[in-house]
Amino acid sequence: MYRILEKKVLGPQVTKMVIDAPAVAKKAEPGQFIIFRIDEKGERVPLTIADYDREAGTVTIIFQIVGKTTTQLNELNAGDSLLDFVGPLGTASHFDENVKKVAVIGGGLGTAIAYPQAKKLFHMGKEVDAIIGFRNKDLIILEDEMRQNSTNLFVVTDDGSNGNQGFVTDALKKQIEAGANYDLVIAIGPLIMMKFVCQLTKQYGIKTIVSMNPVMIDGTGMCGGCRVTVGGKTKFACVDGPDFDGHEVDFDEAMRRQQMYKTEEAESLRDHKCRLEGMANNG
């Protein structure tokens, strides 16, 4: 069992948990993920490692409450435990020592995945421009953490409610045209966001890495559910990724696959809520 040591609400539908998992924390690296299971009847769900503390033996996860399992996870509190917490899985992010200046871009919840990337690069002595974008100011997460682990931080919102309206692509283009000579761009967030970032960086010939998080079941490459097309070849995000060359990813195919189980996911969440309501009424 893996005990929940801390639970914190970061924003509407976004929760942070710190899990007691010494074996995972010992080997975790930016870019890797875990697969958790709440109980014996629970589904296996992957979450990218948002942070880790080797000395304390803890792993931090940040998740959005969107379906049945994340709803169930959010119903737990500090002191409760998870049945399974397997990891670290996936290939850790590799950063070329010759890279000097990097733009790390996080879109929405993708900021939680971009954070360990920025933190690692910043502590490697690289110049890091962090660009994070949200729909509005109430959805902003990890602003202080990103500021502490970057050379410059740019926070934008779609509606301008934080005083800085625009998309992450607008902020990135502005920096590039102002003379920022990026050796690498790392983009993590919604597929459509990553697609447009890659279209922009391709124009300027800047290497771009994206993190792919498709439907995943076993996390070992056996089920094939997490397949993505990269450079015309089939790759599995769980073992070949999740980091890939963004200029070679077939984002349109990935977006189509992302919609495949929306109906089933909605039905599962509805059934769970109905059971909870029934239990409350009977109580």
Q: Which residues are annotated as a binding site for FAD?
A: 62-64
In angstroms, rounded to a whole number, what is the distance separating the alpha carbons of residues 234 and 213?
Answer: 15
Query: Where are any strands of DSSP class E within the chain?
Result: 2-11, 14-20, 33-37, 45-48, 51-53, 58-64, 81-82, 84-89, 101-107, 127-134, 152-157, 184-188, 208-211, 227-230, 233-236, 243-245
How open is the CA angle 142-148-149, to the nearest 5 degrees?
A: 90
Retrieve residue 5's tokens: 């040591």
C-alpha to C-alpha distances, 1 to 35, 53, 79, 191, nearest whole angstrom: 14, 19, 11, 34
Annotated binding site for [2Fe-2S] cluster: 223, 226, 238
State which H helix or E strand residue 74 sits in: helix 68-74
Q: How far apart are CA 181 and CA 113, in angstroms?
A: 24
- Find the length of the chain: 283
Q: According to the 3-state scheme, what is the secondary structure of 130-195?
A: EEEEECCHHHCCCHHHHHHCCCEEEEEECCCCCCCECCHHHHHHHHHHCCCCCCEEEEECCHHHHH
Binding annotation:
62-64, 223, 226, 238
Q: Rounded to an integer, what distance in angstroms lies between the CA atom of residue 42 and that of residue 66?
A: 16
